[in-house]
């Protein structure tokens, strides 16, 4: 039967927009609750500048070489454990909370500590600057100068709650699209002629949405005229006898009865059903008639195939919008099994009360109606 194609997804989303909306709202609400539960984090930073000793005769390139080594040393686990122990933090500080960076063209070493407690972040930053000063004091060629003292931050730098909520919304959208695709693949429905036209040769549309088609609608009238012409053309295969066209519902019944009535009227009013076929010496010109029959059963289930269907010379399959695609394809298979040629597959308005049901293997949907001779 084929699967859902990418060009079909936008139309499927428009039909099942509520599913997508509910998932987006659910994940956004969950992401918002999670973002609000995250504690604020504060960052305190200070800058330690490295310079050459006045009596040093080496090049200033030494500063660019040594500054990264200072950064590695100040963010090492040993230094962090020592500072944590001296401040009595009990292992609270990890390397993820400390960022030590250097400038590529200067000897500035920036030390930043992030924590839920702004005062603790400031205290640890000061302690790491002191450690850096101690290391510089042991270097005969370099000395350090604190160019930016750490201060206690007043506003948090994180978490980025808006980004968390946005990510949750995007996740909900992705889940919604996946859910729509899964629903369409699990039980695809007929929403327009496109799904049928990719699988069947002649697919027409009669009516739109809900409600009965109007006789003054140009497209609906053109569909009926085209069906009448196809019915008359089919009658030419059997000259000299009446030709009966069965309008077969793939699901539901109202659309098939209405379509059969419109087709019968077109054949009668236009006299196409009476005069278009050649007569014989013993009888007048035969008739081409149309009538709705019962919905067929599954292939091979002869007991469920309506008698009017087995005696039909040709058939038109009526598929209500919103009915299962599988029902339409199986209906065409049944007609092929009983050797009834299909003139066209026609989409009809949605059945009253919602989408047409999916006929189960155990019982067929009664289409009602009877053979009608105009």
pLDDT at 301: 46
SS3 132: helix
Mean pLDDT on 11-40: 91
Which tens digit of pLDDT belongs to each residue from 78-126? 999 999 888 888 888 888 899 999 987 788 999 999 999 999 999 999 9
Q: Mean of the pLDDT values across residues 316-331?
A: 84
- Which pLDDT does position 235 carry in this prediction? 67
Q: How far apart are CA 224 and CA 205, in angstroms?
A: 10
CB 267 within 8 A of CB 228: yes
Integer CA distances (angstroms), 156 to 63, 115, 130, 159, 264, in order: 33, 10, 25, 8, 78
Q: What pLDDT, on a 0 to 100 scale, did the predictor assign at position 55?
A: 80
Query: What residue spans define the domains of the chain?
Result: 6-38+159-186, 42-148, 193-348
42-148 carries CATH number 1.10.10.10? no
Query: For the ranges 75-79, 128-132, 213-217, which has the lowest average pLDDT?
Result: 213-217
The 10s digit of each residue's pLDDT in 271-315 is: 444 444 444 444 455 677 777 776 665 444 444 455 556 678 888
HSE-up of residue 106 (Cα within 13 Å, Cβ side): 12
**Is pLDDT at 50 greater than 70 in this prediction?**
yes
Tell me how crowded residue 249 is: count the other CB atoms within 10 A of its CB.
35
**Half-sphere exposure for 272 (CA within 13 Å, toward CB):** 21
How large is the average pLDDT for residues 228-254? 77
Biggest distance spanned by C-alpha atoms of the chain: 132
pLDDT band at 238 (very low <50, low <70, confident <90, very high): low
């Amino acid at each position: 039967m084929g699967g859902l194609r990418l060009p079909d997804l936008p139309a499927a989303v428009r039909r099942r927009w509520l599913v997508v909306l509910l998932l987006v709202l659910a994940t956004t609400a969950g992401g918002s609750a999670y973002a609000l539960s995250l504690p604020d984090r504060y960052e305190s930073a200070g800058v330690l500048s490295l310079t050459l000793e006045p009596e040093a005769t080496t090049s200033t390139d030494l500063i660019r070489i040594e500054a990264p080594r200072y950064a590695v040393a100040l963010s090492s686990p040993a230094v962090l454990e020592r500072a944590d122990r001296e401040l009595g933090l009990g292992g609270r500080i990890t390397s993820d909370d400390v960022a030590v960076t250097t400038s590529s063209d200067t000897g500035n070493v920036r030390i930043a500590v992030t924590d839920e407690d702004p005062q603790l972040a400031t205290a640890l930053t000061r302690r790491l600057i002191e450690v850096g000063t101690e290391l510089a004091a042991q270097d005969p060629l370099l000395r350090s100068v604190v160019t930016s003292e750490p201060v206690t931050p007043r506003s948090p730098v994180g978490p980025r709650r808006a980004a968390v909520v946005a990510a949750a919304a995007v996740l909900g959208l992705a889940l919604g699209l996946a859910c729509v695709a899964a629903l369409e693949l699990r039980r695809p429905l007929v929403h327009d002629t496109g799904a049928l036209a990719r699988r069947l040769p002649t697919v027409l549309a009669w009516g739109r949405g809900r409600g009965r088609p109007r006789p003054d609608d140009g497209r609906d009238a053109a569909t009926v005229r085209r069906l009448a012409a196809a019915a008359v053309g089919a009658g030419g295969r059997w000259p000299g006898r009446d030709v009966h066209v069965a309008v077969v519902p793939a699901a539901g019944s109202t659309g098939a009865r209405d379509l059969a009535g419109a087709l019968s009227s077109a054949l009668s009013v236009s006299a196409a059903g009476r005069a278009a076929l050649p007569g014989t010496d013993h009888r007048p010109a035969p008739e081409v008639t149309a009538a709705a029959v019962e919905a067929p059963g599954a292939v091979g289930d002869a007991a469920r195939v309506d008698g009017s269907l087995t005696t039909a010379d040709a058939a038109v399959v009526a598929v209500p919008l919103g009915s299962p695609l599988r029902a339409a394809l199986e209906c065409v298979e049944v007609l092929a099994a009983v050797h009834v040629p299909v003139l066209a597959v026609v989409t009809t308005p949605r059945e009253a009360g919602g989408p047409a049901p999916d006929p189960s293997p155990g019982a067929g949907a009664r289409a009602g109606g009877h053979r009608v001779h105009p």
